[in-house]
Amino acid sequence: MMQRWSLKSLAELQVAASHESARILIGDVKQRLARQITFCQDSIAPRVKDNSKLSKDLDHLLYIHHDTHRLCSELYHQNKLFARWNASNQHLYSSTLAQVRNRHATTVERWVDMVNIDRGSLHNHVLDILRGRVGIQLLCDHAVQAIDKSKQHGAVTLHCSVRDCIDDAHAEAKFLCEAHWQVSPELTVQGDDDVRITCVRPWLTHALVELIKNAMNASVCELDFTNPLSLSPPPIRLEISDDTNDVRIDIYDQGKGLNVYSDEEIETSLFALGVSSAGKKWDRIDEQQSYAMVRSPLSSLGVGLPLSRMMMKHFGGNVTLQRAQNETLASIVLPKDATILEPEVYK
């Protein structure tokens, strides 16, 4: 039975201070990788066996899974390493998990390429793989942050300032928009500036960058670039709501991008893997915690929205899109309950 973590239980897992906790974590990563391998072999391999390109891609991805599982398994069984939990052994432990994290960080594009070749057969199964990957990446990063960065609560941020995350995300999105369009709309923030919540801060920042840059892109697309006097895009409004059970971040833009979609198509298209308006993909994709300036930063692989939703849903939150009168509304909802368990991916 797979260990299911909450933000609270993960924050309390002191891998730097306790070799028992460190062993629990890497044992869980090892088990999750094994389940990913089994799922690939049982649910995906039969669907790609008649396509040489897909079979080759799956073989490559399975190699990464097998090899990183081997690394975790070898380390897990080194009793002397955990018995002498000194700085040197902690470094070996964290560097191994960093390697696992980094090698899986590069697999998203290949998974999406496979979906684009056979969407009907593979889309939902690859979604399950990526949901499982989100949890694995989080556990690996938790160990790295706790040991290498000396963060007491690892990858979890207690009492995280929502406004600070918004400011960081706005700066990143503004940079991307201006690099692409040479102009960006103003962002006004309304609501309580002192709202704090326990969360995985890089995930929240990632989701905010994704939604703010999409809103900026939609606003700038309303401009008439043939008229120099009109080059002032409509502003974006962001509202922070501190409700009883959750924190809500609503982002309003005046773009008309959603008008071409029905409510069902918003879910099946905009939150689907690999659906992108970009003519070219990014050359690479990092751990989705930062954005590299490559090719088309405002529209690319078609993974930004689905991965943002996965991250927010991992501990009970969500990302939604809807039409609101003459505006588009993008929302992030984060529950205040830090004891909500992560989902079980393979039931």
pTM of the model as a whole: 0.91
In angstroms, the CA 254 to CA 204 distance is: 23
pLDDT at 286: 42
CA distance 241 to 96: 40
Cα 141 to Cα 163: distance, rounded to the nearest angstrom? 24
**What is the C-alpha to C-alpha distance for residues 317 and 322, in angstroms, rounded to an integer?**
17
Per-residue pLDDT, 324: 77
Which residue is it, tokens 């993974």?
Answer: 303
Identify the CA nearest to 215 among candidates 178, 275, 257, 264.
257
What letter represents residue 318's amino acid?
N
Q: Which two tokens stand for residue 192?
A: 């309580």
Predicted confidence at residue 272, as pLDDT, reads: 86
Contact between 116 and 53 (Cβ < 8 Å): no
- Residue (of 338, 341, 333, 336) closest to 317 by Cα position: 333
* 340, two tokens: 């909500």
Report the pLDDT value the prediction gives residue 144, as an integer from 0 to 100: 96
In the chain the first and final C-alpha atoms are separated, in Å, by: 10
Helix (H, G, I), strand (E, B) or coil at 240: strand
Q: What angle do CA 74, 136, 213 make, to 5 degrees?
A: 145
Query: How far is residue 96's CA from residue 94's CA, in Å, rounded to a whole number?
Result: 5
Residue-level pLDDT at 181: 87
- Provide the 3-class DSSP secondary structure of residue 154: coil
Mean pLDDT split into 10-residue runs, the chain, 347 residues: 91 94 97 97 97 97 98 97 96 97 92 93 95 96 94 96 98 92 93 96 96 92 71 91 97 80 78 69 41 45 87 97 87 98 86
Helix (H), strand (E) at residue 345: none
Contacts of 86-92 with CB under 8 Å at 24 or more apart are 90/16, 90/22, 90/147, 91/147, 91/148
Residue 227: how many other CB atoms lie within 10 Å: 8
Task: Give the pair of three-digit tokens for residue 251.
Answer: 């982002």
Residue with tokens 């002397």: 80
> In the prediction, which pLDDT does 210 show?
94
Report pLDDT for 260: 67
Q: Is 297 exposed, middle or buried (0-12, 13-18, 19+ CB in 10 A)?
A: buried
Per-residue pLDDT tens digits for 57-95: 999 999 999 999 999 999 999 999 999 999 999 999 999
Torsion region of 159: left, alpha or beta (phi above 0 gives left; psi -120 to 50 gives alpha) = left
Tokens 């697999």 locate to 107
Using DSSP's 3-state secondary structure scheme, residue 341 falls into strand
| Cα gap 148→203, rounded to integer Å | 19
Collapsing DSSP states into helix, strand and coil, what is residue 143? helix
pLDDT of residue 280: 47
